[in-house]
Structure 1
Amino acid sequence: MQLGLIGLGKMGGNMAARLREKGHEVVGFDRDPAVRDVGSIADLVDRLAAPRLVWVMVPAGGPTAETVRELGSLLSPGDIVVDGGNSHYVDDRAHAEELAERGVHYIDAGVSGGVWGRQNGYGIMVGGAAEDVERARPVFDALTPDEGGGFVHAGSVGAGHFVKMVHNGIEYGMMQAFAEGYEIMAASDIVDDVPGTFDSWREGTVVRSWLLDLLVNALRDDPELAGLRGYAQDSGEGRWTVQAAIDHAVPAPAITAALFARFASRQDDSPAMKVVAALRNQFGGHAVTKAEGDPAVPE
């Protein structure tokens, strides 16, 4: 197939490369002149034969909305826009309705695989009309793993980004569990080989996973993770997953705690823990200054 791809960063650039390796013709646009094939989105649309397929791979929110709006003014009835970024699922219906006024179709696609996707294939989760998904299916097949799997048409518009959101929420919880396990073992006086323990879990255990493989890779490079700060940003999808759990009255304590742990990682000196320290000092005399460690005194 021929398609346009807007956004050639870490994800988009690797996706374009994989598609080309699979025999598809990709016309790419990016703000960086060094990586783009055309000078503008209008030029990209002009290069594509109708009916067109344009995949958007730009940051969620304003950049995606602006790109969809511009495409709506340039594309023709019967063309398809695929939003493959990490957009909030509630935005998808608005984008679809905006494009539908001009006869342009819309698919939302959650994409997982990170920087390894070009080599291993991506997980693709889509929402949209069945006939639109079928038209774009050769592109999805090229992006997903060669051995099969990795694709789901999850439902109508918004469903793709919704299930990708939940996927990322689950990812938060899994990463936090590995992180806590690491800290517990590292803090003990009985485990001599923490990296080797994680490595041993990669075969035959119920916690073996790609995330575990990646953790082992990181520990091989830096066994004590001394070169990293204990700081973790969140993409927004963890927050959206927690909000969806609240909206649907679904208990999600593991995902919620993992999200809050990321918030805590950004505090050099937690205001909340200062309050806890102050209260412990008030009722138990457990005074701790910044220069001291907190003694293990029973409360």
Structure 2
Amino acid sequence: MQLGLVGLGRMGGNMRERLRAAGQEVVGYDRNADRSDVASLAELADKLQSPRAVWVMVPAAVTDATIDALAEVLGEGDIIIDGGNSRFSDDAPRAARLAERGIGYVDVGVSGGVWGNVNGYALMVGGAQEHVDHLMPIFEALKPAGDHGFVHAGPVGAGHYAKMVHNGIEYGLMHAYAEGFELLSAAEMVTNVPGIIKSWREGTVVQSWLLDLLDRALDEDPDLATLTGYTDDTGEGRWTVDEAIRLAVPLNVITAALFARFSSRQDDSPAMKAVAALRQQFGGHAVHKR
């Protein structure tokens, strides 16, 4: 099967390699000419046979503009796939705009990071059954070997919704491991924190790929001394909490993990300054001044 692929960065570039290794024909376009197979979206469209399928793998901030530009060079019967971390609520309006031109739309939540080329990508797909069926050779090539790693989650928007929840869970799991690491590091009797993390990788109920990656990071830097605690968020955690509020679903762990990332960006928390001031005022507790 042929596929156009727009966006050949850390994820898109590896996806192109995995697809080609599986025997799929991929025509890639990137604003960086060194990565690109073609010079423009129009040339990309010309190199594909109808019905054409084009996968968009660009940052969320430019996804709408990229899809609109693609719509100008594609036509009836073609399909656009958005595999980026878009907000699920953007999908239905996009699908409606494209439907006016006879162009199909599928949203795919993609998990696998920079390891996906080797391990395969978990794919959470939203869209019409006919479009999903047409694209199955691409999904089969990208997903891990075996029976898992792929789901047709529902209609348009369901794929990105599933990926949003996936990333919210990821926030909570990462923070649980991080808190465990900090407590072990603070314990007087513990002398081998990296060894403990490594020992959990087999035979325990907390083993996971995330734990494997923490072990790998500690192999490189046992005290994580070269890193700062500043941690960004790319939006999915916020969207997950927004949905929890809308649906009145208690997301205690995920919400706490998101707020912890906000705390990581403060050199000296104004809230904790206020707490220290209050303790001093009502109880005469000692305060630490600069």
Range into which the TM-score falls when normalised by the shorter chain: over 0.9
**What residue number does 1:12 align with?**
12
Partner of residue 32, structure 1: 32
Q: Which AA in structure 2 matches 1:27?
A: V
Residues 188-199 of structure 1 mapped to structure 2, 5 A cutoff: 188-199=187-198
Alpha-carbon displacement from aligned partner over 1:63-102 (angstroms, at most 9, x marks no partner)? 1000111111211111000000000000000110010000
Flag structure 2 segments of 5+ consecutive residues without an equivalent. Answer: none
**Residue 172 of structure 2 corresponds to residue 159 of structure 1:** no
- The total of aligned residue pairs comes to 290
The letter for the 2-side match of 1:110 is G
2:281 partner letter = Q
Q: Does 1:111 align with 2:110?
A: yes
Q: Check the 8 A contact 1:42/1:74 in 2, yes or no.
A: yes
1:7 corresponds to which letter in structure 2? G
Percent identical: 64
Deviation of 1:287 after TM superposition, in Å, equals 3.4
Partner of 2:16: helix, strand, or coil? helix
Q: Who is 1:266 aligned against?
A: 265
2:53 aligns to what?
A: 53
Alignment partner, residue 65 of structure 1: 64
Describe the shift of the 1:290–1:35 C-alpha distance in structure 2 as closer, same or farther (beyond 3 A).
farther
Mapping of 1:282-293 within 5 angstroms? 282-291=281-290
Output the TM-score relative to the length of structure 1.
Answer: 0.95
For 2:174 and 2:243, the matched residues in 1 are separated by 20
Q: CA deviation at 1:283?
A: 1.2
Q: Secondary structure at the match of 2:237?
A: helix
- In structure 2, what is the Cα distance between the partners aligned to 1:28 and 1:7? 7
**Residues 220-271 of structure 1: CA distance to partner in whole angstroms, max 9, x if unpaired?**
1111000110111001000000001111110000000000000000111111
**Aligned runs of 1:145-156 on 2, under 5 Å?**
145-156=144-155
- 2-side partners of 1:248 and 1:71: how far apart? 35
Counterparts of 2:184 and 2:282, CA distance in 1: 32
Structure 2 residue aligned with 1:41:
41
Amino acid at match of 1:17: E
Name the CA distance, whole Å, in 2 between partners of 1:115 and 1:8.
12
Could you say which residue in structure 1 is the equivalent of 2:119? 120
Q: Deviations over 1:135-193 (max 9, x none)?
A: 00100000011234100000000000000000000000000000000101111101111
Q: Provide, for residues 98-151 of structure 1, a one-character-per-residue CA deviation record: whole Å limited to 9, x for no partner.
A: 100000000000000000000100000000001100100100000011234100
Mapped contact 1:72–1:98 kept (Cα < 8 A): no
Q: Give SS of 1:154's match.
A: strand
* 3-state DSSP of counterpart to 1:5: strand
For residues 212-231 of structure 1, what are the structure 2 equivalents within 5 Å? Answer: 212-231=211-230
- CA contact 1:85–1:110 (8 Å) conserved in 2: yes
Output the CA distance in 2 between the equivalents of 1:203 and 1:119: 21
CA distance, structure 1, for counterparts of residue 40 and residue 270 of structure 2: 47
Which has the higher mean CA deviation after the structures are superposed, 281-290 or 130-139? 281-290
Deviation, 1:286, is 2.3
Aligned to 1:182: 181
- Secondary structure of the corresponding residue to residue 54 of structure 2: strand
Of 145-154 and 176-185, more deviation after overlay is shown by 145-154
In 1: Cα distance, 2:224 partner to 2:116 partner: 25
